[in-house]
Amino acid sequence: MDIRIQEPRADEAERAAVDSVLGPPQEFWGHEARSKRELLLPALHAVQDRFGWLTPGALNYISERLTVPPAELFGVATFYHLFSMTSQPSRVVHVCDDIACRIAGAEKLCADMESSGVAWKRSPCLGQCERAPAALVIEAGQSPKSFAVAPVRSHDDIAASDGTGGPRSASAIARSLKDRPPLQLLRRVGRIDPTSLQAYRADGGYTALKRAFELRPEGVIQEVLASNLVGRGGAAFPTGRKWDAVSKAPARPHYVVCNADESEPGTFKDRILMESDPFAIIEGMTIAAYATSSERGFFYIRGEYPLATERVDSAIRSAREAALIGKNILGSDFSFDIEVRRGAGAYICGEETALFNSIEGKRGEPRNKPPFPVHVGLFGKPTVINNVETLANIPVILAQSGKAFADTGTPGSTGPKLFCVSGHVARPGLYEVPFGRTLRELLDMAGEVPGNKRIQTILLGGAAGTFIGPEKLDVPLTFEGTRAIGAALGSGVVMVFDETVDMMDILARIAEFFRDESCGQCVPCRVGTIRQDELLARLRSGRLIGSKADEFVLLKEIGQAMRDASICGLGQTASNAIESALANLKLKF
């Protein structure tokens, strides 16, 4: 492939940034570079981290090294929110103005930032909802640094931060009901050092992997099947069936991918697990690889989670040094290694096939299904892809047996579940309860609405979820229970809104979110999300095309078109929360 590069050429610093990822030019160049396309995203990150933006010289050099046409490289680089194609200050503050932060004063914070003289941008959800409002500081340079600051009330809080993100709020500490078995997923949160492999092993870590070797791959899959564990990212697909399909797939090699691109507004459970118990997730990935005969894994973490990325990176290095990943794990003939891939700000990359494309160095656009990932996944090979919370459950299952796990919860929803409780509650945070408890019981744990206010509505499942009224508080928190009331658990979001919130403002923000996050690949989603956003703007302003009744009919038609014809779940769920609010709440226009 003949890649003709225009000026400017890369200078020494730009080449050094790219070579820090790709290696020296003599290692590969030209035709051989085509197989290295998966290094495109890390190379872009290296340049952004060093200079604060994607310089033309560095982009040209990446294009040459990886034999990616400049136009195609430009298409990838402009796909992600965290990459800048124009020069900007080395320190930029990203202020979350999404739902949880919005009701906690984000607009006031944005106004304060506007007058501060600080370089800043608005950001979709940063996954710090239990500590809202939040900001992410990104500093480029020889020693790049990124950190979250939360809660933050003014630019002075950010300026005073020491780079650690401020003190950890008590809301991040695991909470559970008193009359239930001990915590399973959150038992280590705030209790052991997440950077210490020794501490993890002293607390029972890696006994599950040893048991997996005793059970052999078929036995591991049988235990996961017996547990009835389903995916905790929102899709709720049976984990054992996925593993079984990949294990039997004749094509080689097989891959394991951890989907840690947690971008659903209101969701922060995976962040806390990665920051507080990274070894459990890595052990779960290793067991998945053993059960499915996979030799290579990718841990894809959203770019807005710098501390989680640091903790996971450190845990992988420690595990590799202890022969817990890498060649001949624990002296066996099984080898498996893990690479971390940082996302760069794209909600759509939480969709599994869009995530594959991102790892492969392409635009993070979803693929049509079938074929499904268990047959044609990452690099076109059979792939297991699981959410962080799903993988964290695997050591628990093998430590106690699949049947014991299935005995927790309900027959249709087994095991414990993490819920991200935020908004107008006294104690926002991450809560672990067995499936089957009611929403009322969960909110009793989180405390009353501050200021003796009344609950106006509760959002279940995030921006792609459903608004329900306070009369539904006794719904069981199970897949079947929420389905019965026309809702869904989704990613475990439970966000409470008191009577003071302007819900039309919230709905407008949700519509704006999906408009901005649509990848634009398919017409129903690309056009539908824009028309939905415009329609809500008309309802708020009173400048209607026809009657209000006509506008509501049009809104439903837009939603139905997106559900029926969109390629992926973004378009299929983009109208869910908005339509549910209009149906279930007494909103005034």
pLDDT tens by residue, 87-104: 999 999 999 999 999 999
CATH of residue 323's domain is 3.40.50.11540
pLDDT in the model for residue 170: 36
Q: Which residues pair with 297 in a beta bridge?
A: 256, 338
Question: For residue range 448-502, what is the model confidence (pLDDT) as tens digits?
Answer: 999 999 999 999 999 999 999 999 999 999 999 999 999 999 999 999 999 999 9
Question: For the residues 582-588, what does the mean pLDDT come to?
Answer: 81
Q: Which of 466, 498, 530 is the last residue of a domain?
A: 498
Q: What's the pLDDT at 45? A: 98
Cα separation, 562 vs 579, whole angstroms: 13
> Does residue 294 share a domain with residue 382?
yes
Query: For residue 585, what pLDDT is reported?
Result: 86
Same-domain pairing of 257 and 378: yes
What sign has the CA pseudo-torsion 566, 572, 577, 582?
A: positive
Within 13 A of 118's CA, how many CA atoms are on the CB side? 24
Q: Is there a single domain that holds both residue 329 and residue 386? A: yes
Residue 344 shares a structural domain with residue 472: no
Beta-ladder partners of 384? 256
Are 396 and 473 found together in one domain?
Answer: no
Beta bridge partners of 91: 139
Say if residue 399 is in the same domain as residue 417. no
Q: Is the pLDDT of residue 49 over 80?
A: yes
Phi, psi (deg, nearest 5) at residue 494 = -135, 100
pLDDT tier at 4 (50, 70, 90 boundaries)?
low
Per-residue confidence band for 166, with pLDDT thresholds at 50, 70 and 90: very low
Reported as a pLDDT band with limits 50, 70 and 90, residue 176 is very low
454 Rama sector, left if φ>0, alpha if ψ -120 to 50, beta otherwise: beta
Is residue 5 situated within a structural domain?
A: no
Work out how many domains the chain is built from and give that number: 5
> Is 372 domain-assigned?
yes
pLDDT (tens digit per residue) in 292-329: 999 999 999 999 999 999 999 999 999 999 999 999 99
Please indicate, yes or no, if residue 533 is contained in any of the structural domains: yes
pLDDT of residue 418: 96
Phi–psi pair at 455, nearest 5 degrees: -75, 125
pLDDT digits (tens, 9 = 90+) for 107-155: 999 999 999 999 999 999 999 999 999 999 999 999 999 999 999 999 9
What gap in Å lies between CA 382 and CA 21, rounded to an integer? 27
The pLDDT-based confidence of 160 (bands split at 50, 70, 90) is: confident
Structural domain ending residue among the three candidates 387, 406, 425: 406
- Residue 53: inside a domain: yes
Domain check: are 291 and 352 in the same one? yes
Last residue of one domain, picked from the residues 483, 498, 513: 498
> Helix (H, G, I), strand (E, B), or coil: what is residue 422?
strand
pTM of the model: 0.95
Amino acid sitting at position 24: P
Q: What pLDDT score does 162 carry?
A: 66
* Bridge partner list, 126: none
Q: Containing domain of residue 320, as a range?
A: 197-406
394 and 287 in one domain? yes
Residue 402 and residue 443 in one domain: no
In a domain, 174, yes or no: no
Same domain, 491 and 507: no
Residue range 220-247: mean pLDDT, rounded? 96
Using a pLDDT cut of 70, give the percent of the chain over it.
94
What is the rounded distance in angstroms from the CA atom of residue 22 to the CA atom of residue 40?
9
Q: Is pLDDT of 169 > 70?
A: no
What is the mean predicted confidence (pLDDT) over 197-206?
Answer: 98
**Over 90: is that where the pLDDT of 579 sits?**
yes
Q: Per residue in 384-432, pLDDT tens?
A: 999 999 999 999 999 999 999 999 999 999 999 999 999 999 999 999 9
Q: For residue 352, tell me if it sits in a domain.
A: yes
The pLDDT value recorded for residue 412 is: 94
Whether 30 has a pLDDT exceeding 90, the answer reads no
Mean pLDDT rounded to a whole number for the chain: 93
Residue written as tokens 């609405």? 449
Same domain, yes or no: 247 and 286: yes
Q: Is the dihedral of CA 425, 427, 429, 432 positive or negative?
A: negative
Residue 588 clears pLDDT 80, i.e. is over it: no
Identify the band that residue 165 occupies on the pLDDT scale cut at 50, 70 and 90.
very low
Residues 67 and 158 in one domain: no
Residue 555 falls inside a structural domain? yes
Domain membership of residue 217 (yes or no) is: yes
Write the CATH number for 459. Answer: 3.10.20.600
